[in-house]
Structure formats: structure tokens, C-alpha cells
Chains A and B, each alone.
Chain A
Amino acid sequence: MQRFSLRTKLLLSFSTVIVVSALLSLIIGTYLVKTIIAQAQGKVKLDLNSAREVYQEESGNIKDVVRLTAVRFFIKDAVLKGHGEKLKGELQNIRDQEHLDVLTLVNRQSRVILRAHNPEVFGDQLNDDVVSHVLSRQKVVVSTQIVSKDDLERESRDLLERSRIDLIPTLQERPRTETEETSGMMIKAAAPVLDYDGELIGVLLGGRLLNRNYEIVDNVKDIVYRGEKYKGKDIGTVTIFQGDLRISTNVLRLDGDRAIGTRVSQEVYDQVIGKGVPWIGRAFVVNDWYITAYEPIKNISGNIIGMLYVGILEAPYVDLKNRAVLTFLGVAILSVTLLAIVALFTTENITRPLKELLFATQKVAQGNLSHRLRVKSGDEIGQLVGSFNQMTGELQKATEKYQVLTRTLEDKVAEKTEELRKAQDQLIQTAKLTSLGKLAAGIAHEVNNPLTSILINSHLVAEKLSEDDHFQENMRLIIDETTRCGAIVKGLLDFSRQTPPEKNISDLNEVVENTLQMLKSQILVHEIQVKKDLDRELPEIMIDVNQIKQVFTNMILNALDATPKGGWLTVRSQMASDKQFVEITFQDTGHGIEKGNIGKIFDPFYTTKGMAGSGLGLSVSYGIMRQHGGTIDVQSEPGKGTTMTIQLPVTEYQEDEAV
């Protein structure tokens, strides 16, 4: 199933449901149709019973007529005393009234006394099973009998005519060699004629020929089917068969005539006539399919001589069935179509957002976190889309945060690296100064001894010389220079000892101003423009004013020495960006410092001023800044100038403010 898309799977599932329901409705339809057919068959069965009833009633009628007539006196008299005109008249009268085809009186010996239908022929021996039956049993009897051609002829020529039927070729018929049927089938009833003592003296035989007699069949049709028609055809049909031949029927041929002379199918014949078993089922009658019921008609001897048939036109049921099937089929197709549409719609509804979601996840996977889906429904998919959007949103936020953090981290690392570098520089500088301090102290000790000797002895010499001796000047120089040496050594020692600052709460801007004021004349001599950019909002901080003034002095003097005439010195004060320090910068437009020399400028005795400088100014300044917890930073570009930045911490001044 992996290779099918979700859409296909959903459609397949839907299709399965659709097909199953369609099949189910077809099955149900078929079942219903079968039920209808079964009901129709049941009805036919009942109709057959009704037809039999009618048939038996007809038989009963004839039987009654014969029975009642047989007990009449004129019958007895006619047998006892020979017939007269009266008998003839009476019997003919009765025959006409009761529509009997045969009404014959025979004596005890079966000799014909009178044939009401054909009075001309009499005295002949009547071989009739029914009559024989009465003679032997002296009971009224009725039965359907086959009447031979000769018997019919004896009765009357028109009976012969009526019963004679040409065989008409019929579909599915049982093959027969004859081309016509000359015998007939008749309901016969016979009653004993008794004398006044009750002795059997004769038999009265009455009968009605069934051939071409449509009374029974039409009666049944009228009673049972009430003349219902379907597409111009009678729904119900009734037939009386003589053997396999229709002798009385309301089944019509295509030309509209009754289908007399047509015959039953081999199949039905074999079952009903052959086996004596009633037939219930569909059968092809003449030229239509019917739902039919056949039952055998037996003669007095129990032999099957014919059949009674009832049939309902199958067409209405077939049509009903077809309609039902069509309806079910239509319903099935309609529902399949509807379901398919719904399925397609639903599938589309489900799969489209899923496809979009898939697309979106691929986008996210590629790193596009700003992709958003539109929420279209409130169902689970809508919620999923909502959750997805929320998730991507959170992811985007987190990523942004992460990027910011990373950037911050990078900045922090860079910052820390810079701080570390500075700290290392300071450390190196400090270490340098410490060892140089120790060296200086050692040198001071060693140098001071010879200086002492020189100083004392030059004084002594000077003392010996007269005031106006021309060597006095030389001695003075020796003494002064020696004293200067001593001062230098002392400076060195001071530097190495780094006397702690005496801090007071002070305004740094004021210190700057004072220092500039103090150096006014030097600035004038150097012809340098000084630009002040002082932040008047600076907090006052704890400093040793004299030491800081010394530092500023060193800065300014160095700038003056480095800057050619007409140059600029910018002195700026401001808060450092971290608010922890106050910053003073001295920016000159001087010749700058060679890159390789920047590391040396704080070293003691490093000077570019030759004899003019002690080389201690910046290293002393450095020491002072260190003792203030501050820093000096140098930025310089040869030919463009130098910027010295001093940072002093903004710290606990309340403590000392109390002093």
C-alpha cells in the first residue's frame, strides 16, 4: 500500500463501500423481485383453487339437474311405460333450460330410451362408463369424460362439429401426428332412475361438452381477475385441456382469437399428464410467459384426461421486477455517484491541506521558518494546521533567539578576548615595571654611593675655592648635575615604590581645566589648538588630584611634543559605554607612534625626546592609573596622530566623603 497516495487509499476505501452498498441494494432488489414472483406463484395457486371450485360447481350443477330430473315421475313413467311425447318434450325443455348438450335416458340394460338432443336415434346400447357406474352402484355420479367421435355423432352432428378441433402448431408443444382432434371432453352426470318401489329401472345421463364451451373459463376469469388487463392483454387466463389440447380457453392468439387447438408444452405435459403432479411455475403459454398453475383432470376411472390451467401474465411482474431492478440500480448508481462526489470532495478536503502541510514541512526542513499555512477549517486538520503554524512560529522565535544568543555570545567572546588581551598587556606591563622597579632600586643603591662621594668632594673643593675663583662655575655645575642625578635616582625609587594615591572626591573636568590652565604657556609656545569636549554631566569620582594632574600633564606634554605647529589637541571627557568608567581622551594630530614602539612607551626610560625627557613620564602615569584602578589605552597611526584614552572607575565615594 506504500506506493498509493493517501488520496488513492481514501478513494479506494470509499469505492469499496460504494460497490458493496450497490451490490447489497442489487441483492436486496433481486430478493424483493423473487419475493414478488413467489407471491405471484402463491396467488396463481389460489386462483387455481378458485378455478377448480368453479369447475366443480359446474359439475355440481349438472349433477343436480340430472339428479333432480331423474326422480321425476315422468321419467319413471317413461321408463316403465315407454316413452311418449311428453318425455321428449320435458327432457328437451330441461336440456334447453339447463344448457345441457346431452340428456339421455337409458333403461336398465343401457338401451337408449330417449336422446333429448337427438330423439331420432334411440334403442341403441349406450356404452358409457358413467352410466355403468350408476347401474352398478345406483348412485348419482358426476365426472369429466372423453367422448368419442361416434358417441358425439350419435348425440348430434353439431356436437361433433363443436368438438372437432384443428391442431394449431404451437411453440414448445408436444409433438403429435394427428392434425385434428375429433373426440371431445364432457362433464357428465348420471343419476339412477328408480321405480316407485325403489328398484333401479334406468339411468338419466346429462352432460355438457367442454370443447369450445367458454362458460367455465370466462366465469373463472371474471370472478378471479375481474377482467383486469395489462397492456391490452388479460392478466388472468384460464384453460381447460383435453389431454394436451386447449379446448376451452381465454388465452388469445396473436390474432385475438381464442387459442383453441394450441397445445401445452412438452415439459408441462410430462409433469401433469404424465406424472399427475400439479405444475406451478412460469410457463410459455401460446405466445407469452405466464406464471401458471396446472392440475390434472381425471375421469371416473381415475385416468388423467385433461388439465385445468390458471395463469397470470408474467409481464407485469417482469416489468415490476425490471422496474424494481432498475430502481435499485438507479438508486445504486445515484448513490454511487453521490458517494463518489462526496468521497472526492472529502478526500480533496483532507488531502489538499495535508499536501500543503507536507509542502510546508519540506519548506521548514529547508530552513524557511516564515512559511505559514492558512487555517481553513475547524476540524482536526484545521487544528493540525494551526498546531503546525504555532510550532513553526515557536521554532522561528527560538531560532531567532538562538541566533541572537549566538551573536551575543560571539560579541561576548570577542569582548572578553579583547579584555583578556588588554589584561595580558597590562600584566606584561606590570611585570615589566615590577622587575624594572627592582632593578631601579638596586641601581639607585649602587649609584647613590658614588654620587655621595662626588657631591661631598665637589662641595669641599668649592668651599676651598675663593668666591671669585673661575673654577667656582665648574664646581657649581658638578654639584648641580650630581644633585640632579640624585633627584633622578629618587624619582626612580619613587616610581618603584609607587606611593599610594591620596584620593578625594573630585570633578575630573576641573582637573582637566586646571591642568590645561597650568600648561597654558607651553601650549602657546607649541602653537597648538586645544579643543575641549567635556561632558559636564560626569559624576565626581575618587582620585588623587595631584597624581591625576601629573598624568594629564604627561599626556598633554607628550601630545605637544609630538604635534607640529598648527596641529590640534582634542581633550574629551565622557562616560564609558559600560557606565563603570569615566573616560578622558587626548587626541592629537601629531606624528604618531610606530607600531613596534607602542608596547614600549610605558617602559621606564623609554623616550623619544632625547636628553629632554626622563623617559619616566608615561611609566609613572601608568603606575598612577594602576593604583587608581584605571587604565591607559593607546591608539596611534604614524603620520595621523595618537589617541590616549584614560579610564577611571566610578566607585564608592560615600565612604570617603565622610572624611
Chain B
Amino acid sequence: MENKAKILVVDDEVPVCRSISSALEPEGYLVDQALSGEEALQKEGENRYDVIIADLMMPGMSGMDLLRAVKEKRSDIVVIMITGYPSMKTAVQAVKLGAFDYLPKPFAPSELRNLISRALERKRIYEEKAPVEEKAMAKTPLPEGLYCIPGHSWAKLEDDGNVRVGIHELYLRTVKNFSSIKFPDENEKVSQGETCLWVVDTAGNLHRLWSPVSGRVISINEEVEEDYSRVMEDPYGSGWLLLIKPLRFEEELENLLPFDKE
């Protein structure tokens, strides 16, 4: 099983580590465990893991410190943060620092597996395709004024004060066999860093998409609802998904990255 992905699970609680391991091992992944950031860093030095799943809150070296250290050594490593204290600000900041994604506790094995699958897809994209090609894939010129949760979603402040929200092209590419989108209801409240909609693949797996802003959903792009291919064709333009009335956009902008600096 040469192709077997190597995954390191980092959590200061043994049961959590074991549970995650037992959820992933049947899927054919090679799962290692570490009970602290320091141990994880050491193990990562010995084995080049494909994915690291790390708890944010740990005594000693925190998940965030681990992320920084690991990313410094290997930019291509995929790090997923899990947290029992889902401070969205911390989680989004982690993504901004280079984490692939995060998962709030408690979660079902399916959620984790979906995420791992997307993470590995991302890894594959890193390895198999050059960044140049990546850029070329952008079918539309880079739009102005877009702010992102890197690899997830984008937000753009419109003239009327509302924010247009869309999906990041990279995210779509990590979801194998994108099928449809499960939209929220109009008027529903969303928060930055929390699920604003679900991306559904052909196998029926649900993938969370984190909202880049907090606010209330004013409207949904009905054109996309009718034809999901629009999202693939023009993710930063006509393929927008939600129109949100933001609550504190200025403040939340700090947690986002301008599109071109990603």
C-alpha cells in the first residue's frame, strides 16, 4: 500500500486520539498518534506525514504553534485543526496561517473522513500540479476586492453595504464529484467561521463551507440553484452563492486574506 496516506493525530487526550485512529484506520490510512505538540513535531521529523490532525488547545505547545512550526518546515503538509472550544476566531486564524481546515468537536467519523478525503485531494493538487497551472485554471481574471478564508470561501463588499459570498475554486477542486449545494434559508443567521452551506458530492457526502462573514442571509443565487455548473464556470462572478447583510464586516476583515495574497 504504497499509496496509503500517512496521518498523524495530535491530541492531549488518549481516547480522542484512539477514537480518531479507529475511525480512519479502517479506511486504509496509516495513522500515528502524538499526545503533544512537541511529540508531533518530533514524529513529523521522522515520518513525512501527508495530513496532521491537531487539537488547537493543548498544554505546552498549542495546535497553533505546531501549525506554524510544521508549515515552516513543509509548506505542502495539510494540517486540519480540531477544537473542543470552537472559538471561530482562532479557527479562522489557523486557516489564515495555513491550516487546510478545522473541525469542531464533537464530530462524526463521516465528517472527519470527508475532510480527510478533501485534504488528500488538496495534497494531490499540491504535488501533481504546478502552481502555474493552478493559476491558469482560473477562468476569469482575478476579481478586485475579494477577501477569503483561504481555500474556502470569499466575501466581497457591495456598494449597498451587503456582502456577496462565494466558494473558493480550490475548495471545489478538493471535493471530488461536486454535485450540488445545500443552501441555508433566507433570513438565516450565519457566523464567520461557521457553516453557512453544505457542498454535496455525488456520493451524498456533506462538506461544510465556512462563512467568511457574520450576518443574515438576504438572498440566495437562484441561478446557481438551478444550474450548479455556474459555480464551477465562474466561481468569483456569476457563480456567487449568498448575499449577506453583514454584522461587523470591518472587524471580521482582519481574519480574512485578500484574494491575491493567498
* B84 adjacent to A446 (CB under 8 Å): yes
Contact of A445 among B26, B85, B189, B214 (CB under 8 A): B85
Binary interface profile of B, 179-193, with partner A (CB < 8 Å = 1, else 0)?
Answer: 000000001010100
* A448 adjacent to B106 (CB under 8 Å): yes
Kindly provide the distance from the CB of A338 to the nearest chain B CB, expressed in whole angstroms: 103
Q: Which of A142-150, A396-404, A450-458 contacts B (4 or more CB under 8 A)?
A: A450-458
Binary interface profile of B, 184-221, with partner A (CB < 8 Å = 1, else 0)?
Answer: 00010101000000000000000000000011100000
Interface residues on A, range: 20 to 34
Kindly provide the distance from the CB of B244 to the nearest chain A CB, expressed in whole angstroms: 10
Binary interface profile of B, 79-108, with partner A (CB < 8 Å = 1, else 0)?
Answer: 000101110000000000000000001111
- Which residues of B1-53 have CB atoms within 8 Å of chain A's CB atoms? 11, 13, 15-16, 18-20, 22-23, 26
* A456 adjacent to B22 (CB under 8 Å): yes
A154 at the interface (CB under 8 A from B): no
B59 at the interface (CB under 8 A from A): no
A502 at the interface (CB under 8 A from B): yes
Main secondary structure of the interface of A (DSSP, over half): helix
B57 partner residues in chain A, CB cutoff 8 A: 445
Kindly provide the distance from the CB of B158 to the nearest chain A CB, expressed in whole angstroms: 12
User: Chain A: which residue is nearest B160 at the CB level?
Assistant: A659
Task: Give bound CA distance, A450 to B11, whole Å.
Answer: 12
* B109 adjacent to A452 (CB under 8 Å): no
* A453 adjacent to B108 (CB under 8 Å): no
* B110 adjacent to A459 (CB under 8 Å): yes
User: Chain B: which residue is nearest A441 at the CB level?
Assistant: B85
A539 at the interface (CB under 8 A from B): no
Given contacts A502-B245, A502-B247, contact A456 B109 (CB under 8 A): yes
Task: Give bound CA distance, A490 to B216, whole Å.
Answer: 20
* B245 adjacent to A451 (CB under 8 Å): no
A449 at the interface (CB under 8 A from B): yes
B131 partner residues in chain A, CB cutoff 8 A: none
B161 at the interface (CB under 8 A from A): yes
* A500 adjacent to B248 (CB under 8 Å): yes
B106 partner residues in chain A, CB cutoff 8 A: 448, 451-452, 454-456, 482-483, 485-486
Task: Give bound CA distance, A459 to B19, whole Å.
Answer: 10
A215 at the interface (CB under 8 A from B): no
Task: Give bound CA distance, A446 to B16, whole Å.
Answer: 12
A452 partner residues in chain B, CB cutoff 8 A: 16, 19, 82, 84, 105-107
Interface centre among A441, A452, A453, A463 (most CB of B within 10 A): A452
* B84 adjacent to A456 (CB under 8 Å): no
User: Chain B: which residue is nearest A494 at the CB level?
Assistant: B191
* B108 adjacent to A493 (CB under 8 Å): no
- Which residues of A448-481 have CB atoms within 8 Å of chain B's CB atoms? 448-457, 459-460, 463, 479
Kindly provide the distance from the CB of A531 to the nearest chain B CB, expressed in whole angstroms: 29
A434 at the interface (CB under 8 A from B): no
Task: Give bound CA distance, A251 to B236, whole Å.
Answer: 169
A444 partner residues in chain B, CB cutoff 8 A: 84-85
Task: Give bound CA distance, A446 to B189, whole Å.
Answer: 27
Given contacts A445-B57, A448-B84, contact A459 B13 (CB under 8 A): no
* B19 adjacent to A453 (CB under 8 Å): yes
A514 partner residues in chain B, CB cutoff 8 A: none
Kindly provide the distance from the CB of B149 to the nearest chain A CB, expressed in whole angstroms: 18
B18 partner residues in chain A, CB cutoff 8 A: 453
Task: Give bound CA distance, A457 to B248, whole Å.
Answer: 39
B22 partner residues in chain A, CB cutoff 8 A: 456-457, 460
Kindly provide the distance from the CB of B221 to the nearest chain A CB, expressed in whole angstroms: 21
* B108 adjacent to A456 (CB under 8 Å): yes
A479 partner residues in chain B, CB cutoff 8 A: 108
B191 partner residues in chain A, CB cutoff 8 A: 499
A449 partner residues in chain B, CB cutoff 8 A: 11, 13, 15-16, 84, 105
Kindly provide the distance from the CB of A573 to the nearest chain B CB, expressed in whole angstroms: 23
- Which residues of A119-137 have CB atoms within 8 Å of chain B's CB atoms? none
B105 partner residues in chain A, CB cutoff 8 A: 448-449, 451-452, 486
B11 partner residues in chain A, CB cutoff 8 A: 449
User: Chain A: which residue is nearest B24 at the CB level?
Assistant: A456
B19 partner residues in chain A, CB cutoff 8 A: 452-453, 456-457, 460
* A450 adjacent to B109 (CB under 8 Å): no
Contact of A502 among B86, B108, B109, B216 (CB under 8 A): B216
Binary interface profile of B, 248-261, with partner A (CB < 8 Å = 1, else 0)?
Answer: 10000000000000
* A453 adjacent to B15 (CB under 8 Å): yes
User: Chain B: which residue is nearest A497 at the CB level?
Assistant: B87
B20 partner residues in chain A, CB cutoff 8 A: 456
A93 at the interface (CB under 8 A from B): no
Given contacts A444-B84, A444-B85, A500-B247, contact A455 B107 (CB under 8 A): yes
> Can you identify 26 A-B contacts, CB atoms within 8 angstroms?
A445-B84, A445-B85, A448-B85, A449-B13, A449-B84, A451-B106, A452-B106, A453-B19, A454-B106, A455-B107, A456-B20, A456-B23, A457-B22, A459-B23, A459-B110, A460-B22, A460-B26, A479-B108, A483-B106, A493-B85, A493-B86, A500-B247, A500-B248, A502-B216, A546-B189, A659-B161
Chain A residues packing against B (C-beta within 8 Å): 441, 444-457, 459-460, 463, 479, 482-483, 485-486, 490, 493, 499-500, 502, 546, 659
Chain B residues packing against A (C-beta within 8 Å): 11, 13, 15-16, 18-20, 22-23, 26, 57, 82, 84-86, 105-110, 112, 161, 187, 189, 191, 214-216, 245, 247-248
